[in-house]
Every structure is written in C-alpha cells, then in structure tokens.
Structure 1
Amino acid sequence: MQTPAVGRHEEIARLRAAVVAAASGAGRFVLVSGTAGIGKSWLAEHVGTLAAEAGLLIVRGNAVDDAGMPPLWPWRRAARELPELAAALDTVTEPGGGPAGQRFRMFSEVADVLVAAAAPSGLLLVLEDLHWSDPTSLALLTHVATETPRTKVLIVATAREPMGETLLAHQPDWLRLPHFQSLSVPGLSEPEVRYWLEQRGLTPDLAQRVHERTGGTPLLVRLVIDSDMGTGDDPLLSVPGIRRLILAQLDRLDTADVEILSAAAVLGERIDTELLAQVYGAIPPSEPGAPRDQTGDPVARALDAATAAGIVRRFADATTGFTHALVRDAVYADLAPSRRAACHRAAAEALAARGGPDSAVAGAIATHWRQASGCADSPSGRQWSRRAARSARASAAYAEAIRFGQWAIDAAGASASDAERAELLIELARDEFAAGWVATSLDHCVEAGACAEQADRPDLLAEAGLVVQGVTTPTVMTQLDLLCGKALRLLEPGEHPDLIARILAQRALSAADRGAGVRARELSDQAMRAAERSTDPDVVLDAIHARHLSLAAVDFLDERTALATRAIEIAADAEQPLARLWGYVWTADAALQRGDLPGFDNALDHIELLADRRRLPIARWHLLRLRATRAALIGDFPAALDFDTAAHELAVGIGDYSLAGLHHAFRGMYAVIVGHIDRAELTAALASLAFAPKITIAQLFAPLLHAMAGDLEEARALFAPFRLLPDTLEIGPRWAGTVYSVGLVAELLDDAETADRVFRAFGGREHHYAADGTGALICLGSIARIRADNARVAGRLDAAVDLYHQGLAMDTEIGARPFVALGHLGLARTLLARGDLSAAREVADRAAAAFRRLEMPYRLRSADALLTDITAATRTADPLTRREREVHDLVATGMTNREIANRLVLSERTVETHVRNILAKLAVTNRTELTRGPH
C-alpha cells in the first residue's frame, strides 16, 4: 500500500504554487528534504501530477545508492525524456578550454536546453535522492538553478536529512537564489497518525504508541500498520529495532524469495530483473546442497510475492524497486559477508558479460569488484576501476575519476609492477590536477617518478614531470624541475623526441615564471629545435608557448609576432581552439605594444568568433579583459569597469580563481590611472594578494597601493627590497610591468635614485607602448611617457621634456586620451621645475581641461594644485600683479600718468596708486629709476 496524503496539505499547496509560478514564467527551485521514509518521493510524484495538469513537460532523474553510479547519472536519467539534454551533456567531450572551461561549456549548454524546452508551456525537472548524488551533478544543478529564475523551469529536488558534506557545500549558493525554496517535510502528528489508523479500520488507541516509536515517519507508520496488529501485541515492543521491524516483512516470504531479494539488494534500490536473474543463477544456494525450484520464473514469482508483502513496488517510470531505501538497506545489511561478496562478484561478471559503454557500466562493475574483494589485490577490480576513472574523466567529473583512480591503485596491491603503479599514479595525478588538487597531484607525481626510476622507465618519469603545469609556487617548480631534469638526462633522443621537446618546454616555462629569462630563452630554443622533428601538433604548440613566454618583452616583438601567427596556423589545422585563442591573444598584445589598434581590434574579432562558435569560456574571459584594456586606454572608464566586472563574474563561474584574481590587479592599475584608491578598495586588493602567486609584480602591489592611499611610511618599508630590481631583473615575462611598477612607487615616494634606475632600464624602448607581452592586463600608453616620469623624478629635466613630447605625440596618435592628459601633467611639472612658468601654465591648463572632459576628478585636483603652484612661483619671480606689470612697462617708456590712464581706460588716481605700489615693491624711490633698466 502507498503512503496516503496524510498531513501533507501545506507541502502540496506550496508545490502547486511553484507549478503555477513556473507556468507563468517565474522559475522556481524547490528542495524537498526530510528524514528517510518521510514521504519525499511521494511528494515528488505528486508534483508531477500537478505539473501534468498544468501542461508542463516533465523530465525525471534520480541518484542511486551505488558507488558505481556514473557521474551525472541523475541528469542522464532525465535525458531519456529529453534527447537534447543528452547531447548537451556530451558537449564536454569537445576539445579546448581546459578542464574548467570544458565543464562550464557543458553546464551552459544544459541550462540553455532546459530553458528552450520550457519556453512553450513550462518544464518540470525532478531530481530525486540528491544525498547520493555525485559532486558534478550538484555543481551542474547549481549552475542551472542560477540561470533559470526568470524562465518557465521548475526544479524539484529531494534529499535526505541530515545532509552530507557534499550536498551541504552547495546549500549557501542555493540559499542566495531569489527563487529557491526549502521545503523541509516534518513527521506526522499524533492526530494525523490516528486518522490514518481510522482509515484502515484499526483502533485509534494505538496512535500515541505508534507515533512515539516512529516519530511520525510515514514509512515506519505504514510498516507498523501492515504488521499483524490484530494480535493485540504491540509490534514496536516485540521488535527491538527498526531494522528488525523492516525485516519482519520478509517473514512472509519463503527462503528462495528471500535469497532473490537479498541478491536484488546487492544491485541497488531499483531492480534490473534480467541482471537479478543472472546473479541469482550464478550464486550457490544459501544452504549448501539445497535444491532450487527450476520451474517457471523464480525471480518474477519472488518479486510478485515481495510486492504483495509491500517490500517492492512499481514506480511511475515503469521500473521496479524496493519501496524505500531503508528497506533495501536493511535487507543488504542482513546478508552474511561471504554471501554479499559472492553476489557482488556475480553482479560484476554479469555486467561485464552484458557489455555496453563504459560510461554506463564501468563504475558499477568497479564498485561490485571492490565490494567483492575489498582493497585486496584484484586484477579485475584494477581494470574496471581504471576504465571507470577514464569514463568519469571524459565527462569532466574529476572528483569521481579521482575516487576510481584510487580504487585502481588499491586493487593493484603488491602484485603490480613499478611501471604499472607509476602509470596508475600518473593518471590519478592528472585527475587531481584537473580538479585543482595541486599539492596532492604533485605528491603523486613524485611517487610516480620514484616508481618509474625503479622500473627504468624514463618515459614515465617524464610523464610524471609534465602533469602539473602553470603553477608558479617555488616549491612546486622545484619539484617539477627535479623530475624533468632526471627525465631529460635519462631519455634517449632517438627514442623519445616528443617527450624531450615537451620536457624542455616545461622547464623553459618554469624558468620564465621564476624570472630566469636568459635560461628560459635557452631552454625554449632547444625545445623549438626538438619540436621541429615532431609530427604531433601538440608538441609543437607546447614549444611555441614556452618560446613565446620566454620572449615576452618588446625587445623580441618581431619573433613573438611570428610565433603567434604560426600557432594560429598550426592550431587551425589540428583543430586546437585553445591554441588558436592563445595565438590571437599574443597577436593582440603585440599590436598594443606597437600601437596598432586596428590590428588589436582584428585579433579581438577572432577571439569573439572563438568564444561564440566554440563556446570557450576562457575565450570569452580574454575577450572581456581585452575590451576592458581597450576602453581604459581611450578613457572610456565606465565601459572598462563593466567589462572587467563581467570578466570577474565569468572567472568565478568557471571556478578559475587565478583568473578572478586579475580583477583586483586591473582595479589597482585603474586606480593608478585615475589617481585615487579608497580604503575599501585598498582593503579588498590587499586581501586578494594573499591568494596571488608569489611573484615580484604581485608583491609590488602592496607598496604601490599603500603609497597611493597615502600610507607613505608603510609603503617605504615594503618597497625597500625592490629598489635595486631595475638593475638586476632579467628580461622576460612581466619584466616591463615589474619595472614600471617599481618606477611608479618611486614616483609616489619621490625616490630619485630608484627612479633613475627605471629611467635607464627603459632606455631604447621608448618607441613602443606599455603592454606586458603575456596577455595584456592593461595598457598604460607610451613607454616614452613612463620613462619621462622617471626622468623627472630623477632630476633629468631636459631628458624628461624631450620624452614627454615624444610620448604626447605617440599617445595622441592612438587616441589614448588619459595618457595624453597625464603626459601634459608630467610635462607641466617638469617645466615648472625648470622655471619655464609661462609654458608650464599653458600645458597644465591643457591637462586640467582634459581631466575635466574625461571626468577624472582626482587627477583634475592634481592639475589645479599644480596651477596654484605655478601661480605662486610666478608671484615669487615677479612681485608685481599683472596690472602693475602693465603700468610698469608703460612708465618705462616715458608715458605720463594721464597717458597711461587713457591707454588702460583707468582713472588717473588709480594709475597713481599703481605707481606707488610699484615703487614700493621694487624698492626704488622715483619713476625715473623705472626707465633705467628692467625690474
């Protein structure tokens, strides 16, 4: 018998309201939660009835209590009723974007499919038993829920309380959604239990005892009602536990039926009758020598008997299964360990013989083998765990791939060779790195390297050294260098040319990241020469990437441009969209350094095509970041900040916090341009530095931000270790940005000595523009202007004037309006220092007017302050006012007071007053002396 709708009127009303809201275009996400047996599935079925009455399309999926459940299983079950959803789930197999990008692209496709399917009349997506769900399915649910508040999509999910850590980790994200509702289902009250008893024709006097012992849980209430209560005994007193209460239902079945149900419990909550028949036929009777009834269909008879006893039932999707997980769990727990292991072994063999894609069966088979053998040596367990990991990896379900990979290592045991163990560890490390577990991945790489050395397999040693990439932490780079160095010494060039090229490229990247520019260029050159013999485009592209990074400075602009062009060509032929993206990003950066804005915009057009056609989130991120750079360069600051915010939100959505951290770097450089940072921005930016890579340019941000905020003593203390950098830093990645940052702090602290070092370091590069060379964070206009700023602080005033004029011409040519204004401000300061007051005033006026047009109030204040200084300096140099100077000059020509009054349209008395003031200020006794020489 089904649990009746006793005491569920409020829950049904809320679900009906959610259906109506979704049908009208206001999406809802309802999480139905409660303890086992509370009636969550009944409510999920009931909302399906309500949705059908409202004309909504209904798709259902569910997780199962089976460690072999494939990743995204609830979604793939739902996809049976929506083929477009199945295609979207397979989007992750398309190349490009890296692990995070591939997963994000798939998530976006799934959300788009559901929204499109809901557009006509609405859609109900039911996902049951999320407490058993895999992490990837929950992450996908979070993404879809975020995308569907203003659509006709109703999501109803069920989960058991108390919730596990995996499910709880997503709860904060769900609670922040405006359309999320938590529907916690309580136990029945005592009056509701009494009503149920009355409906069954039973005495209501038992209501209090039944309610006390079951807590009002409908499943347990039903079990009590279905027991033989007519005997007058209290079944809850005679049965010492819920498990025994549940198992009491099996007493109605004969031994053969119980054996079949026990085998079914091994297979899971839902029952595959064909598989159950195979498993039952493969295991010996529980009582040795006992004959089995071979007539008819024993599995069908057992399931019919179990259905009559209320142990199994037919579900809405036409499948058969245990009435509740508690029932299945109790039957499974009652199995003897040896019997349980035999059933698992039979299930694994039956599933393997049946065949099918690994995405559907590998996880289940691996789980059965693990349950059959524990962690002992098991060749079959190792084989299927490895296949299950490979299948999970193909779906970007890296948490599941890691679990299966660890199982494969456990199953290998002591019988595995060193080479086999190294291979398993490398596969596990790759999945861990893809999941962001860098430290754990590195540990397994080191362990794999040791096994590879023992096995005399330098190729595996090299593979171990190539797993972790792009991590600049010194300890990580040291470990990787050791692995790669050993592999390089042991690899035979004739046998492993591709591995040697990749190792050299990896070491070049590592050297470039730690600032060893000369060494990086040597290694990348070797990698390029090694890759020339390769037919693998990935190897060539790896070498090009390393070479480009090692040349990331304006000194090597032509070679970098050629590398970018070659990368684009190779990637197009090899269908490598991510490599094409890098080629266009490099092209855009080189165009910025040349001041070629049409070339820059053309590269952006290609990046946008990649983002749209390939749905690469990393391409969209670069597009937004470069648009922010472009907008800031020409002074469209609102657009720049909007693009930066969109890029930051996308990075957070992808889950790549290395990209998200660049948001604070961009805001810091924006503050440099506009000349202001407030305390809230300062606090947020300084906090972000804790998560930034420990590289010099990132560490320089602390003194820079403090200096901008006026904390000069703190800034000086933090800046002290960096003052000699311009003399010692090798040319390479981030060289220009690092040296520029040193010069900027030196200017803010009025550090002439350090500014002079920066001035000399930039020598010969003033005909280029300031972009990093590794993917522009921001462009700061002409290097000529930057060099002029440092020349001015260093006291090289004549050189500064020449450089400012050069920079003004360059920045004007590309329409870099903020930097034209900053150039005028710097030039005016220099002219003031040289005493050229008239020219200084004219240039400062231009700067002030430009800052006013660009709505840069803090820079306008600086220009106004400079104009005040120029006025004060003018007064010091000439004590006469402008009118007094006019009168003085006319007196010097011999004109009388009356003639002067007529000329200047003044009264004669006013002229007399001016003459007296002039005589006093110039310390002369009569007007005759004014005609003798200049005063």
Structure 2
Amino acid sequence: MRSELVGRDREIGALDGWLVSALGGRPRLVLCHGEPGAGKTRLAEELVARAAAREVPTLWGRAAEAEGAPPYWLWRQVLREATGVARPAGELGVAEELAPLVPELDGGRSDVLGDEARFRLFDAVVGVLRDIADARGLVVVLDDVHWADRPSLLLLRHLTRELRGSRLLVLATHHDLPPGDAPLLAELVREPVTERLPLTGLSRNAVAARLAAEIGEPVTAELVGRVHELTGGNPFFVGELARHLSAGRAAGIPPTVREAIERRMERLSPCCRSQLRAASIVGRQFSVAVVAATIGRPVLDCLDPLDEAVAAGLVEPTATAGDEYRFVHALVRDAVEAGLPTGERVRLHRAAVEAIERLYSERLDPHLSDLARHWAAAAMAGERARAAGWIERAGDEAMRRLAFEEGARLYRLALDTGDPELDGPARHRLLVALADARHRSADGAGSAEACLAAADVARQLGRPDLLGDAVLVLGCVNEQGADRRLRALCEEALAELDPQPSSRRARLLSLLAETHMYLEDVGPADLASREALAVAESCAEPAALVAALRARQMARSGPDGIEERATLTARLFAVGSDADNPSDRMWAHLWQIDTHVERGDLYDAAAVIDRLEWYAGRVGGPTGRWHVLKARAALAQAHGRFDDARVLADQAFAVAPASGHAGAVGARMALLTALDHHAGTDHGGTTAMVALDAAGGAVAAGSGYRITYTLGPAVILTDARKHDEAGALYRSLGPPRRWRPPPFFLLASYAAGIAVAVGQNADADVAVLRELLSPYRHRHVGSGAGAAHYGGPVALHLGIAAAHLGDLDAAVDDLRLALASCRENGAAGYAVEAQVELVGVLARRGRPDDLDEARALVTAGTAAARGLGMPAFAARLAAIGTSLGPVPPSPSLLTAREREVAACLSTGMSNPQIAAALFVSERTAQNHVQHILSKLGYSRRSQIAVWAVQNLDPRTPNDRRA
C-alpha cells in the first residue's frame, strides 16, 4: 500500500499540464530529478494514475542499478509491455528489428552487428511507441535512468529527437548527478521538447503530514524539526524513519537509513532475512526461482517469506512477470547487500552462478550479463580464467545486441577478472574484442590502446597472424601521428606474416595502402593497393576483395585514375550484389557519382542519388544519411539552386557522424565556398573562416589537406576584394609547383589557386597552375566519393588563367568550351560565370564579330544571373555591356524557313538533324545556314544560336519576342 502523496502539489500540477499538452500533439520529455529517496517514483505513479483516469495507456521501465544488467534492460521492459510478447512475432511488423530488445522475438538470429542495425532498432522502437500514442495518447515512465546503460540512453536520445507531432509524454526519473557525470542526460536537457522537474526536500509542513500519516497520531514540532534536519525533507528517509517510529521505537532517531533498514530487517524471520540477502545479490528486481535456487530452497517455501517482506514494505511484486519481485527502493537493496560479510557475499554470488546455469541451461544468452556480474564477484584462485570466459560470452552477447559500450565494459572486466590466469591467446582475443567494441562505440583512443596491447601479446607469442588481427581492428583517423603508428604496425605484421596469399594479407595490404594515402605517400599507396587487389583476387574472399577495391579506389582517386575507378566501381557493384551488402552498394554509388561529376555528367550523377538513398537507408545510421544529403547539396549547387543547396548542406552537417567531423567540416566548407563565389551572400569569408577554425588540429601543418582548407577561405576573400588577407593565406602555402594536394582534391586545388593567384596578379603562379591543370581540360572539378561540391569545367579555370596572361585566343576557345559544357549539363551558375569571363575576353580582343557575340552574351547572361540570384555577376555583365555600346537592331531579313533553321540551331542541332526535323535534304539545310550567316553578318553557327535565343520565340519562330 502506497502512502498518500504529500507536499507535491506544484509538481503534480506541472505534470497535469504537460500531459494535456502531449495529448494535444505537443509531446514532452520530462526529466524528473532529485536525490535518492526524493519521491521520483512515487510522483511517477501519481502521473500513471492520472493518465489512467483519462484512459491513456502507460508503459513502465526501470533501469537496473547493478552492473551487468542485460543491455537495454530499461527498454526491454517497455517493449515487453508495448508489444505483448505472447503475440505471434509476425503481428508486430518489426519483430526482426526489435529482437535485440525482446529476445523472445529473436528466432535464433546471431548476425546482428553494426551501426546500421542499431539505427533500425531505434527506429523500430520509435515506430511502436508512435503507433500506440496515435490512438489514445501514451505515457512512458523510465525510472532511475541514471543507472541505465549507455545504449539505452542513446535510444532515449533518438526517441526524444523523433517525438515531434506524437501524443507522447515521457517521464524519465534520475538522481541528481555532478556536472559532466552523465553527458547524455545533459544533452537531453537541451532538446526543445524537454522539461525539467526538480524534486527537492519536503517542507516542514509536508514532513509533519507524512509523519502523522505513518504514525497515526499528531507529532510534535520538535520531532518534525529533528526529522527535517536529519533528512533534509527526503521523502524516503522521512517514510523510513516514520515506519521505525510507528513500530514503537521512539527512543532516538537512527542517524542513517541503513540503520533504519537494519532494524526493520531484525523484525523479520531468519528465513525472510536470508532470502532478502540472497535477493540483494541477484539484483533490485529478482526472480523468485533464482533466489530459491541460490539458497537451496523450493520455490514454494520462498513465497511466505516474500509475503513477509512485502508486508514490511521492503519488496513488492512487479507488474511484468508473476514470479518477479523488486526492492521498493534501490537504497533498500544497497543497505541489505552492504550488511553482508565478505565471505557470505562471495558465497551467494557463487551460488547465484550455479542457480542461473541450472535454471536456464537451455537458453543462457538472456542471462549472460547476470552471470558475468556474479562471476566477477565470485571468482577465486583457480577459477579466474573460467570466470573470464563467462564474462567474455556476456560481452559477445552485448555486441550481438548492438550494446557496444556494454560490450567494451564486459571485455575489460573479463581481462581484469581473468588476470593472472589467462593464457596468451585468450588475452589477445579479449584485447582484440575490446578494441573492436571501443571502436564501434567511437572511443578511438581506447581502441588504439587495446590494439597496441594485443599486438604486444602477439609478439610475445611469436604469432604474426594474431598481430595482423590486432592491427586490422584499427582504422585511419587522418591524424599524422596515429596513422604513422598504424602504418608501422601494418608493415611489421606483413613482414612477419606468411607470404602466401590470404584474406588477412590482402586486408593488411589494403589498410597499408590507406595509411599511405592519409600520409600522402601516393606512390607507395599505388603499389600496396595493386598488391592487395592481386592477393584478394587469388584468395577469393569477398571481405578481402571489398577492402582491396576500396584501397585501390583511394589510391586512384586523382583525375588520372578516372577510367580505372569506373572499373573498380563496377566490380564493387558486383561484389555488393553477390553478398547483398547494402554498405558495399552504397559506396559503389558514391564512387559512381564521383566519376559522373568529374566527367561533367551532372544529370547522370543526380539520377544515381535516388538509388544511393535507398541503400543508405538500408545501411542506416548517420553516415549514410550524411552522404546522401551532401551529394544532394552538391548537385543543387551545381545546377544553380543555391537556396536548396544551403538548406541541404545544413541538414548534412547536422547529421554528420561525430567520428567524421573533420571530413564533414571540409565538405561543408567546400560547398559554402562555391555558393559564396556565385551567390555572394557571405562576402568577407565569415562562414568559410569559421569552418577553417572548426577543422582545427584535424589538418596537420605539413599536410596536403591544408592546401584545400586554406584556398577555400582565400577564394572567398578574393571575391570580396580583400586581397591582402587572401594573399597572406595564399603565400603561406609556398610555390604552387611544390603543392602536393591529395589526389581527389587536385583539380579543386589548382582551380582555386588560379582564382587567388589572378587576384594577387601573381602571373608566374598563374602560368604554373595553368600548366598543371591543362592536361585535364575536358574534365570537371569534383571532390571525391559522393561529391561535396562541384567546381565547374576545368576549361573555365584555364580560360580565366589564359585571359589573365593575355593569351586571348586560347582564353576564348577555353571559355567557349566551358560555356557549351555548362549549357549541356545544366551547370547554370558556371554557365553565367563562363559568359561573364567570355564577354570580358571578347571585349578585350575587339574583333567585329567578337563584339556582336559579346552583346548577345551580355543580354542572355544578365537575365540568367538575375534569375539565379548572382548579383555580382549581373553587375559585371552590365558594366561590360555599357562599354560595348548599344546592341544593333536585329536583322529582319530572314525568311520563314531560315527562322525555322535558326530556331533549330538554338537547340544545338547539327545539319543532318535540321534536315530530318524540317524534311529537307542535308545540302539544303547547309545552304540555309550559310544564308543566315551572310544576312546577319556572323561567321559561326554559335552566333546564330545566341541570336535565335534572343530574337525568336521557340514556339513560333516566325515571330519576334515582344
């Protein structure tokens, strides 16, 4: 029987208001916090009662305070109530995704690993809760979340961010915690839907009411004052002391709750006391069967003592299972366990191990966490290796259930428990597992530490194969010191490994190639990736082949490798299809986009993104979503949809995985630089400079990545005519011929370098950069797998360089090539830029037909620039147009047929195509073109096309536009 809730009128009123708000479609997460015993659970029960009065369903989950509780224990309880595990799994619709939380739905599945699976699991939980809430609303109580494992808190954070629009109220209770002690809880406080509900001590009046209710008679002011001073108004302490007083022990007040609980325990029968001591070892929530087996009694003999404990207010039955009970408060369990002598505590843990193994011998997996906890406490000399084995099994189960942080904790515990009885191979296996778990939980430093320790064990054993396994857990982190250590380990492992082809050797060579690339040693990377691919092909292991293909793609990521990369992409598609691996297919699509962009096939690249999004969705997690949004932003920027590009870039950066922060900053910076260059909304370079600062130490002083990170802001400063600031950044890079940008940034670096060097009037540098860029005249500027931004045709940048150096004929040819390319692939912003640059060069060259062409380009370019939102380019065109003088009147000498031919030319038709469209001979079509050139005074077909765009309505080519 629960006592009346006193002294909480304000808190109850707030909860009532939030419940009404949630039922109206404005969801809430309420974080109710206070010291242990503040009445958080009692307040939650009051909320549940008020929800029930409104016929709103409630779900309840309580975190287990003892280490070793099953992963997601908090959510397992919620999901068991929400889904009803007795129903057939097929009725749930998401049974497979929910299996890690509801093992009864598992069906024996054992291959659930990876971030993508955890993301699907989280989304499935959100879907179940939303479905319930949509009908009548829903209240979810999560009790004692300060004890929850990290995966459970990550799921809560995911749910909080997906609450919008649902009729859901989540009440999470937790202890007051020191600042920084629970960073995930601190993150939840910052979410827009979060409300905080602190519970402080009861007032003196409330303490008096509570004491009087428990004792059954009025109490003195002196007693109230003493109790309030001793307890600080803590409701649990007050209640415990009141019960103690009501038992007739009025002489003196115990100084601690532990003493109060011990006195209450003394009133129980010896059988009940021994049963509670065993239960305190099992956990706050315990199975009667486990406790009975632990103390060696029949279950039936344990029921009466449990009733006695319930009557004493120490335990209570749970709502989730008929044979399960729980201590009414964690402090009760703590006090009972703390009162056990060390010998008895160890004996009970050992007995609990035997009980669990006996009771659940047919299916131990759900109980491995409990076994691990008991073995850790019970292991004695001679049993440590065995205990470590059980704890390792619990770690494996945690990893299978996607609880990576719990897996890391258990592997560390297995190592500590097994010491010094573990043999070398077992220690190595645990260290590698620990490194993998830490890697999956984004603990890069911890993962590296465990790997290095595993490598030391492998050396001591003289086992190069084990050394290789340790190294393969690591990955490149784009930090020079760490990547150098990784490269040295790869080389050591390969030197000791059997030279015969093997999957291990292929993967080590692939990793070595990647470290060479991150350390900017392109030549060694090329050799290592070639060898890796050859070895992988000979051993026919799909995982090794994928690793080798990815290493080779990285080694050939420069513009000279585009044809080979296309072949590698096709091979990765084939491997991913055979293995039905969505991650491989996702990367194949990213490589395909990269190739299309570098070839200038923007429409083909855009078509790939929809397929990319499907596979990224199957992969799940933030990485896939980031790649999709990043690619969409780049294509929007390429096609001149600048506002869309900014929105997509913001969304991409928001979902970018923390482990890839430096890459996310670089991608965002590249896109913002391109947008600012055309749309001009950030003159002064604020955004790009902030992005450069955010990259921080991710870019080493001597790194080729620094070239790209420096040139981006320098381009923006150049556009803003802040040449002194731009020059300082530019000169910090040294002479361009010595630049060594990463291969996938080579074209972008040279193109940006030309823009800044022209602004600095650095003619020699412009000439060098033009020379370096010239071999790629027919390529387009991209930026790696999936594309982070589009930098336009290489011919555009070559034309700008040629114009600056006074080579006007070459500039005209390059700029015409760039303009034609942009018109063909829809790169609207770069088409405007090409027109601006071409108009300027034609005006400088000054031939009669140049000026006519320039006037036509001014008219077309100005309209396009204004429509796209490129004011600086529109202003430049207007200024040049004024210097060209008025546009001559359009000739009206063309016949109707000649106007039809001109209209065909405006769409880019050849003579044979014109002949087919107008049902004339090819010779007749050619004669019409010559007559038009003569009548209009032009020398090239492209001039007719420009004239037709400006003077003919494409629907009625015989009429002039109004």
Question: CA distance change for structure 1 residues 253 and 232 in 2, over 3 Å: closer, same or farther?
Answer: closer
Question: CA distance change for structure 1 residues 114 and 309 in 2, over 3 Å: closer, same or farther?
Answer: closer
Say whether 1:224 aligns with 2:232. Answer: no
Question: CA distance change for structure 1 residues 20 and 730 in 2, over 3 Å: closer, same or farther?
Answer: closer
**Deviation at residue 131 of structure 1 after TM alignment:** 1.2
Q: Give secondary structure in 2 for the equivalent of 1:414.
A: coil
Alignment match, 1:771: 782
Question: CA distance change for structure 1 residues 329 and 295 in 2, over 3 Å: closer, same or farther?
Answer: closer
Alignment match, 1:780: 791
Alignment match, 1:361: 367
Contact map agreement 2:666 2:709 (CA 8 A) in 1: no
Query: After the TM superposition, which residues 40-79 of structure 1 pair with which residues of structure 2 at under 5 Å, given as runs?
Result: 40-79=40-79
**Counterpart AA for 2:234:** T
Q: Distance in 2 between matches of 1:308 and 1:668?
A: 71
Q: Distance in 1 between matches of 2:710 and 2:741?
A: 22
Say whether 1:307 aligns with 2:315. Answer: no
Say whether 1:131 aligns with 2:146. Answer: yes
Q: Distance in 2 between matches of 1:615 and 1:425?
A: 28
Q: Distance in 2 between matches of 1:168 and 1:627?
A: 33
What per-residue deviation string (whole Å, max 9, x for no partner) do you get for residues 716-756 of structure 1? 33322534344563883322223333333223323222221
Alignment match, 1:213: 230
Query: After the TM superposition, which residues 184-203 of structure 1 pair with which residues of structure 2 at under 5 Å, given as runs?
Result: 184-199=198-213, 200-203=215-218
Structure 2: 5+ residue stretches without partners = 84-91, 889-962
Query: After the TM superposition, which residues 53-452 of structure 1 pair with which residues of structure 2 at under 5 Å, given as runs?
Result: 53-83=53-83, 84=92, 87-90=96-99, 99-162=114-177, 165-177=180-192, 179-199=193-213, 200-205=215-220, 206-229=223-246, 233-236=250-253, 239-281=254-296, 297-317=300-320, 319-353=324-358, 354-355=360-361, 360-373=366-379, 378-452=384-458
What per-residue deviation string (whole Å, max 9, x for no partner) do you get for residues 768-816 of structure 1? 2222343311122211112222233344333222211221121121121
Q: Give secondary structure in 2 for the equivalent of 1:722.
A: coil
Alignment match, 2:591: 586
Q: Distance in 1 between matches of 2:754 and 2:544?
A: 39
Alignment match, 1:493: 499
Q: Distance in 2 between matches of 1:160 and 1:788?
A: 67
**Deviation at residue 671 of structure 1 after TM alignment:** 1.8
Contact map agreement 2:582 2:618 (CA 8 A) in 1: no
Question: CA distance change for structure 1 residues 612 and 242 in 2, over 3 Å: closer, same or farther?
Answer: closer
Question: CA distance change for structure 1 residues 738 and 382 in 2, over 3 Å: closer, same or farther?
Answer: farther
Q: Give secondary structure in 1 for the equivalent of 2:656.
A: helix
**Deviation at residue 368 of structure 1 after TM alignment:** 1.4
**Counterpart AA for 1:207:** V
Alignment match, 1:696: 704
Q: Give secondary structure in 2 for the equivalent of 1:734.
A: helix
**Counterpart AA for 1:452:** A
What per-residue deviation string (whole Å, max 9, x for no partner) do you get for residues 655-685 of structure 1? 8664365223321232233356345424422
Contact map agreement 1:66 1:364 (CA 8 A) in 2: no
Alignment match, 1:713: 724
Q: Give secondary structure in 2 for the equivalent of 1:321.
A: strand
Q: Distance in 2 between matches of 1:459 and 1:209?
A: 69
Contact map agreement 1:553 1:772 (CA 8 A) in 2: no
Contact map agreement 2:511 2:551 (CA 8 A) in 1: yes
Contact map agreement 2:708 2:745 (CA 8 A) in 1: no
**Counterpart AA for 1:241:** T
Alignment match, 1:627: 632
Contact map agreement 2:471 2:486 (CA 8 A) in 1: yes
Match of 1:509 among 498, 503, 514: 514
**Counterpart AA for 1:183:** L
**Deviation at residue 574 of structure 1 after TM alignment:** 0.3
Alignment match, 1:554: 559
Alignment match, 2:540: 535
Question: CA distance change for structure 1 residues 88 and 52 in 2, over 3 Å: closer, same or farther?
Answer: farther
**Deviation at residue 19 of structure 1 after TM alignment:** 2.7
**Counterpart AA for 1:765:** Y
TM-score (norm 1): 0.86
Alignment match, 1:912: none
Q: Distance in 2 between matches of 1:656 and 1:714?
A: 27
Alignment match, 1:687: 693
Alignment match, 1:853: 867
Match of 2:767 among 752, 756, 759: 756
**Deviation at residue 497 of structure 1 after TM alignment:** 0.9
Question: CA distance change for structure 1 residues 374 and 400 in 2, over 3 Å: closer, same or farther?
Answer: farther
Q: Give secondary structure in 2 for the equivalent of 1:605.
A: helix
Contact map agreement 1:210 1:221 (CA 8 A) in 2: yes
Say whether 1:799 aligns with 2:816. Answer: no
Q: Give secondary structure in 1 for the equivalent of 2:69.
A: coil
Q: Distance in 2 between matches of 1:129 and 1:68?
A: 16
What per-residue deviation string (whole Å, max 9, x for no partner) do you get for residues 486-543 of structure 1? 111111133x611111111111122223332232222111111111122321111111
**Counterpart AA for 2:168:** V
Q: Give secondary structure in 2 for the equivalent of 1:772.
A: coil
Q: Distance in 2 between matches of 1:839 and 1:691?
A: 53
**Deviation at residue 21 of structure 1 after TM alignment:** 2.6
Contact map agreement 1:648 1:663 (CA 8 A) in 2: yes
Match of 1:736 among 727, 735, 747: 747
Question: CA distance change for structure 1 residues 332 and 502 in 2, over 3 Å: closer, same or farther?
Answer: same
Q: Give secondary structure in 1 for the equivalent of 2:776.
A: coil
Q: Distance in 1 between matches of 2:13 and 2:840?
A: 73
**Counterpart AA for 1:372:** A
**Deviation at residue 314 of structure 1 after TM alignment:** 2.9
Q: Distance in 2 between matches of 1:375 and 1:639?
A: 66
**Deviation at residue 692 of structure 1 after TM alignment:** 4.1
**Deviation at residue 348 of structure 1 after TM alignment:** 2.3
Contact map agreement 2:292 2:299 (CA 8 A) in 1: no
Question: CA distance change for structure 1 residues 617 and 121 in 2, over 3 Å: closer, same or farther?
Answer: same
Figure out how many residues of one structure are paired with residues of the other and give that number: 858
Q: Distance in 2 between matches of 1:557 and 1:707?
A: 27
Q: Give secondary structure in 1 for the equivalent of 2:775.
A: coil
Contact map agreement 1:521 1:551 (CA 8 A) in 2: yes
Contact map agreement 1:29 1:154 (CA 8 A) in 2: yes
What per-residue deviation string (whole Å, max 9, x for no partner) do you get for residues 370-419 of structure 1? 22249997113311221222222223322222211211221232333333
Contact map agreement 1:194 1:204 (CA 8 A) in 2: yes
Q: Distance in 2 between matches of 1:620 and 1:213?
A: 54
**Counterpart AA for 2:69:** M
Give the fraction of aligned pairs with identical amino acids, expressed as a percent.
Answer: 28
What per-residue deviation string (whole Å, max 9, x for no partner) do you get for residues 344-382 of structure 1? 122123223324656522222111122224999711331
Structure with greater Cα Rg: 1
**Deviation at residue 197 of structure 1 after TM alignment:** 3.8
Q: Distance in 1 between matches of 2:494 and 2:866?
A: 60
**Counterpart AA for 2:308:** A
Contact map agreement 1:33 1:184 (CA 8 A) in 2: yes
Structure 1: 5+ residue stretches without partners = 282-293, 875-880, 884-935
Q: Give secondary structure in 2 for the equivalent of 1:396.
A: coil
Contact map agreement 2:6 2:206 (CA 8 A) in 1: yes
Q: Distance in 2 between matches of 1:762 and 1:175?
A: 49
Q: Distance in 2 between matches of 1:159 and 1:86?
A: 30
Aligned alpha-carbon RMSD (Å): 3.0
Question: CA distance change for structure 1 residues 384 and 107 in 2, over 3 Å: closer, same or farther?
Answer: same
Contact map agreement 1:466 1:503 (CA 8 A) in 2: yes
**Counterpart AA for 1:806:** L
